[in-house]
Structure 1
Amino acid sequence: MNQIYESLLSRKSVRVFEKRSVEDSIKEAVLHAAFQAPTAGNQMLYSIIDVTDEELKKKLSITCDNQRFIAEAPLVFIFLADSRRWMDAYEEAGLTARKPGAGDLLLSIQDAVIAAQNAVTAAESFGLGSCYIGDILENVEEVRKLLDLDAYVVPITMLVLGYPEAKQKERGKPVRFEKEYIVHENHYRRLTPVEHREMFAKRSGSETFDYDEYMRKFCERKYMSEFSLEMTRSSAVYLKAFLDESEEE
């Protein structure tokens, strides 16, 4: 098995880091790997905020559901779906371009997430652990102020990175769903009720897995949680500029 493939299979989220900094050369290499990611039309429709201010880290750890490990992470990168930079570039050339729409946002999200994953893969190769923080989408009003974001720049994901503590290295990776439930041939197919139960039972590895109880708890803890509802609310605010043609810049 080649090293890249093995790394992709073994990589897991890390939330506890050693109390040591990441070398500047490695940090630069991780960022450079992000820049080499596939990008629509070579536009690089994203920007990255390198959070070096410790107070800002603390504030972001609070806006992201009070997750203290964010403030303690050696490296914190925020990947922005950036539709502003090209608008400004067009304006500099004396052009009157249309305002960004839904398609522009979705394309910039693709670019940003692909770049982030390149950074994750590169970080893994240098022995760094990482964790995606989707909660950066919450608390739109406060995050916009903290990061000086305008209406056409969306913080689509945050990455925290550092050297994982020993227990994090030893911890097993969560089991994924099996291929038969995820890969569809030629067209999408909704799973049957039986398949849903099989899918979760197989992943659990337990002969006594209680599907209904698991779903009840997971739905309450995740899908119907306050943080999930807040993320949905804030996401709607971010979307507004891309859906409302009358939105002021």
Structure 2
Amino acid sequence: MELKDVIHGHRSIRKYEDKEVSQELLEEILDAGIRASSSGNMQSYSIVVTKDKERKNKLYSAHMDQSMVVDAPILLTFCADFNRMRKWLSLNEAPVHFDNFMSFMIGAIDATLVSQNCALAAENAGLGICYMGSTLANCDQIGKLLNLPANVVPVVGYSLGYPAENPAPRDRLPRNGLVHYDTYQDYSDQEILEIYKERDEKGWNRYMDVPHLKEMTERLGLKNLAQIYTIAKYTKESHHEFSQTVLNYLKEQNFMDNGER
């Protein structure tokens, strides 16, 4: 396909055919990821490919019981990784650090860039993916299940396989609500309402069209999409909890050195 068609045709795929992805195609996808931009060309990431059904069953709970975890033939987990770099530094009698928050951010950005390269290559080959925010939210559980050593943290992950559904592409906010030229131009109330007008309508209709989502919305007495986001989906309490999980795991994985020795 044309690159623009791949990009604009992206959908999150949650249902997959019972069909294996060949090793040859998988390696083509991984090689596309490896060509992604990388800070200092350090390639401070690792990719964990999970095919084993028993391992996927164990990851199911950590990924918040999302069905595609066990239904897709492959899970890809992209990790910030300075373990490999630190070992190389030690073997070459160079100072060994990269054990701080900035290093984690470098690795996280590298891993995310790689993940999107792989996603585009996969979709170009007719496969489908679904990113899972649970990869970072439950990074401690997932890290344990994937046997990640110190200085490695899972950041981004998604299911991968042949689609067994054909959902319509989801709406996106308009370009003029996302792009700023020269400097950031803050929004007036009227501009915000205009930017989110289509999202408010389509997002609300989507919840009303799915019986269990409609039931949840009505049970909680929610009146608009903004309330769905902050009362039902992404509560302040859950984000505080996940934030603490990530911070604790970064410390456990040796990414929180504050320079005081």
**TM-based fold match above 0.5:** yes
Task: Report the alpha carbon displacement of residue 192 of structure 1 after superposing the two structures with TM.
Answer: 2.1
Partner of 2:246: 235
Task: Report the alpha carbon displacement of residue 234 of structure 1 after superposing the two structures with TM.
Answer: 1.5
Counting only pairs closer than 5 Å after superposition, residues 41-60 of structure 1 correspond to structure 2 as: 41-60=40-59
- Alpha-carbon distance in structure 2 between the residues aligned to 1:95 and 1:37: 26
- Which of residues 202, 225, 249 is equivalent to 1:214? 225
SS at match of 1:106: helix
Partner of 1:31: 30
Identical-pair percentage:
29
Contact 1:139 1:230 in 2 (8 A): no
SS at match of 1:242: coil
- 2:172 aligned with 1:176, yes or no? yes
- Structure 1 residues 225 and 129: CA distance shift in structure 2, 3 A: farther
Partner of 1:198: 194
Task: Report the alpha carbon displacement of residue 218 of structure 1 after superposing the two structures with TM.
Answer: 1.6
Greater shift after overlay, 122-131 or 187-196?
Answer: 187-196
Task: Report the alpha carbon displacement of residue 92 of structure 1 after superposing the two structures with TM.
Answer: 1.1
Partner of 2:21: 22
Partner of 2:154: 155
- Structure 1 residues 139 and 125: CA distance shift in structure 2, 3 A: closer
- Alpha-carbon distance in structure 2 between the residues aligned to 1:228 and 1:175: 24
Partner of 2:61: 62
Contact 1:222 1:228 in 2 (8 A): no
Deviations 1:33-63 (A, max 9, x none): 1111111222211001111221111111111
Contact 1:65 1:227 in 2 (8 A): no
Task: Report the alpha carbon displacement of residue 238 of structure 1 after superposing the two structures with TM.
Answer: 3.2
- Alpha-carbon distance in structure 2 between the residues aligned to 1:193 and 1:104: 38
Deviations 1:151-206 (A, max 9, x none): 421100112111001xx22x211110001110011122332222222222133457
Task: Report the alpha carbon displacement of residue 137 of structure 1 after superposing the two structures with TM.
Answer: 1.7
Partner of 2:90: 91
- Alpha-carbon distance in structure 2 between the residues aligned to 1:197 and 1:185: 21
Count of residues paired in the alignment: 242
- Alpha-carbon distance in structure 2 between the residues aligned to 1:193 and 1:32: 45
Point out where structure 2 has 5 or more consecutive residues left out of the alignment: 206-221
Contact 1:151 1:238 in 2 (8 A): no
SS at match of 2:20: coil
Q: Residue type of the partner of 1:187?
A: T
SS at match of 2:255: helix
SS at match of 1:243: coil
Q: Residue type of the partner of 1:244?
A: D
Counting only pairs closer than 5 Å after superposition, residues 107-186 of structure 1 correspond to structure 2 as: 107-165=106-164, 168-169=165-166, 171-186=167-182
- Which of residues 202, 223, 234 is equivalent to 1:223? 234
Point out where structure 1 has 5 or more consecutive residues left out of the alignment: none
RMSD after superposition: 2.4
Greater shift after overlay, 185-194 or 45-54?
Answer: 185-194
Contact 2:72 2:161 in 1 (8 A): yes
Q: Residue type of the partner of 1:186?
A: D
- Structure 1 residues 99 and 117: CA distance shift in structure 2, 3 A: closer
- Alpha-carbon distance in structure 1 between the residues aligned to 2:106 and 2:37: 12
Task: Report the alpha carbon displacement of residue 229 of structure 1 after superposing the two structures with TM.
Answer: 4.1
TM (normalized to structure 1)?
A: 0.88
- Alpha-carbon distance in structure 2 between the residues aligned to 1:120 and 1:101: 29
Task: Report the alpha carbon displacement of residue 230 of structure 1 after superposing the two structures with TM.
Answer: 3.7
